[in-house]
């Protein structure tokens, strides 16, 4: 494992820092994810445009698509440096990190010409329409169906937990086109215009007060066959590309870490409590272990290698880590811990606000159980989990 930048990497890091210093303010501490109000959305679009104009929007994309044509390691370095600044990147993380790369991998030249540049410049926002109420973590168990009608497909069904759907212009949607075959073989992926007739977006009011994700209903939505990604019935193959990008994208967890709760413990006098000190040591060790694991990934990228499924461990660690830290901080505040008010509570109520959405991180991008299966089977080489419905036609599967 190499902890140092190469000469070229160091030069790029310095260039990135100089650019960020010119356009943004450094972060003053851990903060929850930014909201999605009109001002925040416009600010994000403005920042995305500035990045695109200076070849920082997508480091590894070819220059013909508006990228830099850089290396994966340069992309990691940019991510590290941008995370130190007050950068409004949220609205574009899903589109540029998951959806548009899928369009690039499986779309036609016409698709790439139409969508890639506009997404890169922040002119259009994308969302990912996979999860459904009855499918849970089993993406292949979805029921939203598409029926062929001439040169079009008619889609009916419901999606849920769709982040950013309420401000998205387009999305990639996974639907069932053949219920007579096993569940993984009857799926097809399409590009969908989120503003067209028959698409209804209903924001979900969260316990934290936010409305970041949504229910999406499709009622006789017509999509031309030309907006299909991949072959009919090969949607699972297309979805895997999206899901692998998603797992990597959500590997880390924004919010307070051991450093923030240690500072609060010092100010409140809890730092002298032996039980708390033991937990603090556990959090520190876990954080260092995760950091070293990320260094392994960075070393692989620096050497031109492709990191494998071991990246799934990052989200398992950090999501549970964040939830435990926030819960402990709230308990330390005793009955005042129920107050979620930035002007009243320590750290601008960072522990309360993060605690509200931390459990969602254990679901988004693959639940703990799904990721543990991936690690067990693909990293440790353990026997596969029993899947009794693997070869059963979808329309013969029992509901529930």
Residues forming the active site: 246
Widest Cα–Cα separation across the chain? 72
Reduced 3-state DSSP string for the chain:
CCCCCCHHHHHHHHHHHHHHHHHCCECCCCCCCCCCCHHHHHHHHHHHHHHHHCCCCCCCCCHHHCCCCCCHHHHHHHHHHHCCECCCCHHHHHHHHHHHHHHHHHCCHHHHHHHHHHHHCCCCCEEEECCCCCCCCCHHHCCCEEEEECCEEEEEEEEEEEECHHHCCEEEEEEECCCCCEHHHCEEEEEEECCCCCEEEEECCCCCCCCCEEEEEEEEEEEEHHHEECCCCEHHHHHHHHHHHHHHHCCCCCCCCHHHHHHHHHHHCHHHCHHHHHHHHHHHHHHHHHHHHHHHHHHHHHCCCCCCHHHHHHHHHHHHHHHHHHHHHHHHCHHHHHCCCCCCCHHHHHHHHHHHHHHHHCCCCCCHHHHHHHHHHHHCCCCCCCCCCCCCEHHHCCCC
Number of other residues whose CB lies within 10 A of the CB of residue 288: 11
């Amino acid at each position: 494992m190499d902890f140092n930048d190469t000469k070229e990497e160091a030069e790029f890091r310095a260039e990135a820092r100089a650019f960020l210093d010119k356009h943004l303010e450094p972060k003053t501490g851990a903060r929850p994810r930014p909201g999605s109000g009109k001002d925040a959305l416009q600010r994000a679009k403005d920042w995305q445009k500035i990045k695109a104009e200076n070849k920082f929007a997508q480091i590894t994309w070819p220059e013909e698509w508006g990228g830099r044509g850089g290396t994966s390691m340069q992309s990691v370095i940019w991510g590290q440096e941008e995370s130190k600044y007050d950068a409004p990147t949220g609205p574009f993380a899903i589109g540029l990190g998951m959806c548009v790369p899928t369009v690039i991998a499986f779309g036609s030249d016409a698709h790439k010409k139409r969508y890639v540049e506009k997404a890169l410049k922040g002119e259009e926002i994308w969302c990912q329409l996979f999860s459904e109420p009855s499918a849970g973590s089993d993406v292949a168990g979805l029921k939203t169906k598409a029926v062929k009608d001439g040169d079009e497909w008619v889609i009916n069904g419901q999606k849920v937990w769709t982040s950013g759907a309420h401000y998205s212009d387009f999305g990639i949607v996974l639907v069932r086109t053949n219920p007579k075959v096993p569940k993984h073989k009857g799926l097809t992926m399409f590009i969908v215009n989120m503003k067209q007739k028959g698409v209804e977006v209903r924001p979900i009011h969260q316990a934290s007060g936010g409305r970041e994700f949504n229910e999406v209903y499709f009622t006789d939505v017509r999509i031309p066959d030309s907006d299909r990604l991949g072959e009919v019935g090969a949607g699972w193959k297309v979805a895997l590309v999206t899901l692998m990008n998603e797992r990597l994208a959500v590997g880390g967890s924004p919010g307070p870490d051991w450093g923030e709760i240690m500072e609060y413990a010092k100010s409140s006098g809890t730092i002298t409590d032996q039980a708390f000190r033991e937990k603090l040591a556990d959090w520190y060790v876990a954080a260092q272990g995760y950091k070293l694991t990320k260094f392994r990934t960075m070393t692989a990228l620096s050497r031109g290698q492709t990191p494998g499924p071991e990246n799934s461990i990052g989200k398992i660690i950090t999501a549970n880590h964040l939830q435990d830290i926030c819960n402990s901080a709230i308990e330390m505040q005793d009955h005042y811990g129920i107050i979620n008010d930035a002007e009243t509570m320590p750290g601008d109520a960072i522990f309360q606000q993060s605690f509200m959405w931390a459990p969602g991180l254990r679901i988004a991008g693959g639940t703990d159980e799904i990721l543990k299966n991936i690690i067990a089977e693909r990293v440790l080489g353990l026997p596969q989990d029993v899947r009794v419905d693997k070869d059963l036609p979808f329309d013969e599967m029992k509901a529930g």
